[in-house]
Amino acid sequence: MHSKNMERESQSFFAVVLAALGAVLVVSLVALYMSAPHAQDKPVMVQDSLYAEDRLGNSMRLDSTPCLNGMVLAHAVRLGIPDGYLKAMQAGLLFYEGKNYDACWVVGPDGVVYVVDESGDMSGIPMQVFQRRNGA
């Protein structure tokens, strides 16, 4: 008798946990949908190359050409970047710790440049740190 009560309690506990996980999944999917660009909420586009460099010599160049690097775009899909932003991604070049990485980038509605590089890393960089530079 005692084991049947424990079994029922265990099943009830797991049912509550599964319901909570389902609710979290629904909320997450709604948040992802709401963050995806819609007709009035499109990714910001940059017309020419922009450049940013940190004090360690690492740099990021944002080009105004479409991102065509399939490997980087596959990483962006894996990282959960919404489809509207994937289509708006532009090419770029990341120089980090002495090595060049092909990259793709897009500016979100929050003014942050989201960069995905060929190694599969994603970074968010404030748009304000980028500047136009001759020969960038």
For the segment 56-86, what is each residue's pLDDT rounded down to a tens digit? 999 999 999 999 999 999 999 999 999 999 9
9 and 60 in a common domain? no
43 part of a folded domain: no
- C-alpha distance from residue 95 to each of 9, 44, 132 (Å): 56, 23, 17
Reported as a single tens digit per residue, the pLDDT across 11-62 is 443 333 334 333 333 333 333 334 444 433 444 445 578 999 999 999 999 9
Count how many domains the chain has: 2
122 and 77 in a common domain? yes
45 part of a folded domain: no
55 and 26 in a common domain? no
101 part of a folded domain: yes
pLDDT of residue 120: 96
12 part of a folded domain: yes
56 and 28 in a common domain? no
106 and 56 in a common domain? yes
pLDDT of 127 over the 60 cut: yes
Q: Which residues contact 92 (CB under 8 A, 6 or more apart)?
A: 60, 61, 62, 63, 67, 102, 103, 104, 105, 115
70 and 114 in a common domain? yes
pLDDT of 109 over the 60 cut: yes
Which range of residues forms the domain containing residue 104? 50-132
